[in-house]
């Protein structure tokens, strides 16, 4: 199975994995043959790429994330219905219970595994920032929490706080939250109140722990003390808030917004690494950057020498140096970006689009 950007998908290709819409309804089942209208429809709906099963990708094992797309869609649906109900200023207890029950299942599934790596491509196969951002933040934050070997109860706190981190934005005018452009100083000051607004809403008797609400309050604090609302620094910021901060910034950077296109996965990873020790906790950046696969098995990448290659396997230590099958030209040779001396100065510049 391999991933193809939507503009490279052609009529007659076979779908590798079932595709769901935002409501969890099956749009196209695995093994269906794509038609031109179906491809156009998926593109209109915001699908950036699909998993295709073809002869070329025989033997390439695609590894789905620990949260499958189907579960990610169900979680987003549940979260968005909870957020709609909380616009009156209080999130109903039953909605929190429903979210935590889904998170419990996800955490149990994670704890049944020996290792968790994050397939970053999968988080962006379908991009709808408003609908999926908080779920993606939870998935990334949980992957970091797992790799820190946090206990089950702490992983649940991380997941819950990550899902609800921006709930305070519901109480800020949409003309500011959805403004298609940069905010004025005054608007930015209003926007910054969302952490405290979220903390207050979540503290109003719905059974959430203090650690959860403090994590929401702290998700914009920076490791060097330059964040808000309290300008806390280092380990004075609750660990879960520090984890969510990395996940939030990474996902926001890679998301398309009405006023700008999301940056590439490589640029976002470099941003996170460049801000290790200033915006972000360096220990957490190290964990994040060593457990991600920006180009998972099945992705087709562009190389700086003009060639394209299908990712066959990833290297745990160097996530940007996988083993590839060269797909351009007629000689489909296998290249290992770590050991092949001929490719020492060649880098991946992005996904084939």
Q: CB of 266: closest distance to Fe ion in angstroms?
A: 24
Nearest to 322 by CA among 338, 344, 307: 338
Cα–Cα distances (Å) from 70 to 79, 100, 143, in that order, read 14, 17, 18
Structure tokens at 49: 């790429």
Q: CB of 165: closest distance to Fe ion in angstroms?
A: 6
Give the Cα separation of 54 and 16 in Å (integer).
8
Nearest to 63 by CA among 122, 138, 130, 135: 122
The residue from 53, 95, 127, 166 that contacts Fe ion (CB under 5 A) is 166
Q: CB of 199: closest distance to Fe ion in angstroms?
A: 11
Stretch that binds Fe ion, among 84-92, 138-146, 159-167, 343-351 (CB under 5 A): 159-167
Stretch that binds Fe ion, among 34-42, 128-136, 160-168, 289-297 (CB under 5 A): 160-168
Stretch that binds Fe ion, among 83-91, 145-153, 158-166, 263-271 (CB under 5 A): 158-166
The residue whose Cβ lies closest to Fe ion is: 166
Q: Residue 278: enclosing H or E segment and its boundaries?
A: none
Stretch that binds Fe ion, among 110-118, 140-148, 164-172, 344-352 (CB under 5 A): 164-172
- Whose Cβ is closer to Fe ion: residue 192's or residue 211's? 192
Q: CB of 164: closest distance to Fe ion in angstroms?
A: 11
- Whose Cβ is closer to Fe ion: residue 247's or residue 348's? 247
- Whose Cβ is closer to Fe ion: residue 110's or residue 137's? 137
Give the Cα separation of 197 and 220 in Å (integer).
13
- Whose Cβ is closer to Fe ion: residue 122's or residue 166's? 166
Give the Cα separation of 30 and 223 in Å (integer).
44
Q: CB of 216: closest distance to Fe ion in angstroms?
A: 9
Helix (H, G, I), strand (E, B) or coil at 178: coil
Q: CB of 177: closest distance to Fe ion in angstroms?
A: 10
Q: CB of 329: closest distance to Fe ion in angstroms?
A: 46
Produce one character per residue of 259-280: b if its CB has 16 or more CB atoms within 10 Å, e if not.
Answer: eeebeebbebbebbeebbeebb
Q: What share of the chain is helix, strand, coil (3-state, %, to 5)?
A: 45, 15, 40
- Whose Cβ is closer to Fe ion: residue 39's or residue 232's? 232
Question: Contacts with Fe ion: how many residues (CB under 5 A)?
Answer: 1
- Whose Cβ is closer to Fe ion: residue 95's or residue 166's? 166
- Whose Cβ is closer to Fe ion: residue 138's or residue 348's? 138
- Whose Cβ is closer to Fe ion: residue 208's or residue 324's? 208
Tell me, what DSSP letter sits at residue 306? S
Maximum CA pair distance of the chain?
65
- Whose Cβ is closer to Fe ion: residue 42's or residue 123's? 123
Nearest to 294 by CA among 64, 50, 135, 119: 119
Give the Cα separation of 227 and 15 in Å (integer).
45
281 binds Fe ion (CB under 5 A): no
Structure tokens at 317: 């230590």
| Helix intervals (H) in 148-264 | 152-164, 174-177, 185-191, 194-202, 210-217, 239-253
Q: CB of 220: closest distance to Fe ion in angstroms?
A: 6
Q: CB of 166: closest distance to Fe ion in angstroms?
A: 5
Stretch that binds Fe ion, among 70-78, 141-149, 166-174, 208-216 (CB under 5 A): 166-174
Binding site for Fe ion (CB under 5 A): 166
């Amino acid at each position: 199975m391999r991933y193809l950007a939507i503009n490279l998908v052609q009529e007659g290709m076979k779908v590798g994995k079932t595709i769901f819409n935002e409501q969890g309804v099956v749009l196209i089942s695995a093994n269906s043959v794509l038609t031109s209208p179906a491809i156009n429809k998926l593109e209109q709906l915001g699908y950036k790429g699909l998993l295709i099963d073809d002869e070329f990708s025989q033997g390439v094992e695609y590894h789905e994330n620990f949260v499958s797309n189907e579960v990610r869609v169900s979680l987003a649906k549940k979260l968005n219905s909870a957020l709609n109900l909380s616009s009156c200023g209080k999130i109903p207890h039953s909605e929190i219970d429903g979210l935590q029950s889904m998170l419990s299942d996800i955490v149990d599934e994670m704890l049944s595994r020996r290792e968790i790596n994050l397939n970053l491509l999968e988080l962006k196969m379908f991009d709808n920032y408003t609908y999926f951002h908080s779920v993606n933040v939870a998935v990334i934050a949980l992957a970091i929490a797992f790799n820190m070997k946090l206990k089950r109860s702490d992983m649940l706190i991380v997941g819950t706080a990550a899902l609800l981190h921006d709930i305070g934005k519901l109480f800020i005018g949409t003309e500011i939250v959805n403004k298609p452009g940069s905010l004025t100083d005054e608007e930015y000051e209003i926007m910054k109140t969302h952490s405290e607004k979220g903390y207050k809403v979540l503290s109003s008797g719905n059974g959430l722990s203090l650690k959860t609400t403090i994590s929401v309050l702290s998700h914009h604090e920076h490791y060097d003390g330059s964040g808000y609302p309290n300008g806390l620094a280092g380990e004075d910021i609750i660990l879960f808030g520090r984890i969510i901060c990395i996940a939030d910034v990474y996902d926001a950077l890679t998301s398309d917004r009405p006023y700008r296109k999301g940056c590439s996965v490589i640029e976002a990873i470099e941003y996170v690494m460049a801000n290790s020790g200033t915006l972000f906790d360096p220990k957490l950046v190290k964990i994040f950057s060593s457990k991600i696969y920006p180009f998972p098995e099945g992705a087709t990448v562009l190389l700086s020498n003009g060639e394209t290659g299908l990712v066959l396997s990833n290297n745990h230590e160097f996530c940007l140096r996988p083993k590839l099958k060269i797909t351009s030209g007629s000689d489909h040779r296998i290249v290992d970006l770590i050991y092949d001396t001929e490719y020492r100065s060649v880098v991946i510049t992005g996904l084939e689009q």
